[in-house]
C-alpha cells in the first residue's frame, strides 16, 4: 500500500510541493497556537498564585487584628477560625499545589527555601491562637513580631513569584518569536524552492502548449483547405483520369492530416 502511495506522490511533484506547503503551514499554525495556549495557561496560573500568595499577607494581619479584638473588644471567633484555616490551607497549596483551585505544584528551589523560612512564623501564629480559651494568655507583642516576620518573608515570596512569572513570559515570548521567524523562513524557502519553480514550470508548459497549438492549428488548417479544394474540383471534374489523380492527392492530404493529429497528440503527451 505504501509503495502505491509513494508512486502516486512521485508522479505529481507539483502537487506534492503544494501539499508540503499546506502541511507545513498547518503544522506551524498548530505549534504556534499550542505555545500561545500554553503561555496563556501559565500566565493564568501565575496570576492566581501571585494573587493567593498576596492574600496570605492580609490573612496574617487579619489574625493579629482578631486576637486584639478578642482581648480588648468584641471577638468574632468564626472570622478568626476562618482566617486561620485559609492561611494554613493556602500555605500548603502554594507548595504542594491544588487541583481544585488550579494552583500548580511549586517547582522553584529558591522560593521553597523561603517557604521553609516562613514555616516557623506561621506555626507560631497558628499554635498560639489555636485554643480560643487561651487567647488571654497570648503575648500580643510576640504575636505581632512573628506576624511582621511572616509578612516580610511572604513579601519576598510574592516578589519571587512575580519575577519567575515575568521570566517565564519572557522565555515564551522569545520562543514564540523564534518560532515565528522559523515559520517565515520555512515559507520563504517553500516559495523559492518549490512554489516558484512550479509556477515557472507551469508557465513554460503553457507557453509551449500555445506554440504547439499555433503551429499545429496552422498546419491542420492548411491541409483542411487543400482537402476542401480537391473535393470541390473532384465534384466538377469529368475526366476519370483526372479524378483518380485528384483522389490520390486527397488521400495524401488525409495522410498528412493524420500525421499532424498524431504529432499534436505526442506533443501534448510530452508536456503532460
Tell me what pLDDT residue 151 has.
Answer: 92
Final residue belonging to a domain, choices 146, 173, 197: 197
CA distance 6 to 208: 29
Residues 193 and 204 occupy one common structural domain = no
Neighbour-count burial of 173, counting CB atoms closer than 10 A to its CB (0-12 exposed, 13-18 middle, 19+ buried)? exposed
pTM score, whole prediction: 0.61
CA distance 108 to 104: 11
Residues 190 and 217 occupy one common structural domain = no
Helix axis angle, 13-72 to 2-11, nearest 10° = 110
Tell me what pLDDT residue 120 has.
Answer: 93
Residues 219 and 177 occupy one common structural domain = no
Residues 99 and 144 occupy one common structural domain = yes
Residues 60 and 167 occupy one common structural domain = yes
Residues 74 and 178 occupy one common structural domain = yes
Tell me what pLDDT residue 146 has.
Answer: 92
Residues 193 and 84 occupy one common structural domain = yes
CA distance 161 to 176: 22
Residues 71 and 178 occupy one common structural domain = yes
Q: What domain range includes position 259?
A: 200-271
Final residue belonging to a domain, choices 145, 176, 197: 197
Residues 222 and 247 occupy one common structural domain = yes
Residues 245 and 217 occupy one common structural domain = yes
Least Cα distance to 87 among 147, 13, 166 occurs for 147
Residues 257 and 228 occupy one common structural domain = yes
Query: What CATH number has the domain bearing residue 245?
Result: 1.20.58
Residues 221 and 114 occupy one common structural domain = no
Tell me what pLDDT residue 177 has.
Answer: 83
Name the domain count of the chain.
Answer: 2
- The DSSP line for 141-160 is HHHHHHHHHHHHHHHHHHHH
The x, y and z cell numbers of residue 149, run together, are: 516576620
Query: What CATH number has the domain bearing residue 49?
Result: 1.20.120.1730
Q: Which residues pair with 103 in a beta bridge?
A: 98
Which mean pLDDT values do the consecutive 10-residue runs of the chain (272 residues) have?
46 60 79 81 85 91 90 86 93 90 88 93 92 85 92 93 86 81 80 76 76 69 74 71 73 76 67 56
Final residue belonging to a domain, choices 197, 213, 230: 197
Amino acid at each position: 500500500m505504501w509503495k502505491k502511495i509513494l508512486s502516486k506522490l512521485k508522479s505529481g511533484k507539483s502537487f506534492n510541493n503544494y501539499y508540503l506547503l499546506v502541511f507545513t503551514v498547518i503544522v506551524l499554525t498548530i505549534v504556534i497556537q499550542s505555545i500561545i495556549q500554553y503561555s496563556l495557561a501559565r500566565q493564568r496560573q501565575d496570576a492566581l498564585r501571585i494573587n493567593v500568595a498576596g492574600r496570605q499577607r492580609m490573612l496574617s494581619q487579619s489574625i493579629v487584628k482578631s486576637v486584639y479584638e478578642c482581648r480588648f473588644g468584641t471577638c468574632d471567633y468564626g472570622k478568626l477560625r476562618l482566617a486561620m484555616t485559609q492561611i494554613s490551607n493556602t500555605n500548603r497549596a502554594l507548595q504542594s499545589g491544588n487541583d481544585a483551585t488550579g494552583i500548580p505544584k511549586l517547582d522553584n528551589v529558591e522560593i521553597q527555601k523561603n517557604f521553609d523560612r516562613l514555616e516557623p512564623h506561621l506555626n507560631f501564629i497558628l499554635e498560639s491562637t489555636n485554643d480560643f480559651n487561651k487567647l488571654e494568655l497570648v503575648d500580643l507583642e510576640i504575636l505581632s513580631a512573628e506576624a511582621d516576620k511572616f509578612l516580610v518573608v511572604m513579601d519576598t515570596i510574592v516578589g519571587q513569584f512575580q519575577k519567575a512569572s515575568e521570566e517565564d513570559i519572557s522565555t515564551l515570548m522569545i520562543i514564540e518569536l523564534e518560532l515565528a521567524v522559523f515559520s517565515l523562513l520555512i515559507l520563504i524557502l517553500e516559495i523559492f524552492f518549490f512554489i516558484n519553480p512550479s509556477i515557472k514550470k507551469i508557465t513554460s508548459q503553457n507557453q509551449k502548449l500555445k506554440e504547439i497549438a499555433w503551429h499545429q492549428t496552422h498546419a491542420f488548417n492548411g491541409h483542411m483547405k487543400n482537402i476542401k479544394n480537391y473535393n470541390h474540383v473532384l465534384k466538377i471534374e469529368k475526366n476519370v483520369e483526372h479524378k483518380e489523380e485528384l483522389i490520390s492527392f486527397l488521400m495524401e492530404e488525409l495522410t498528412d492530416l493524420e500525421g499532424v493529429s498524431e504529432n499534436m497528440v505526442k506533443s501534448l503527451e510530452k508536456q503532460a
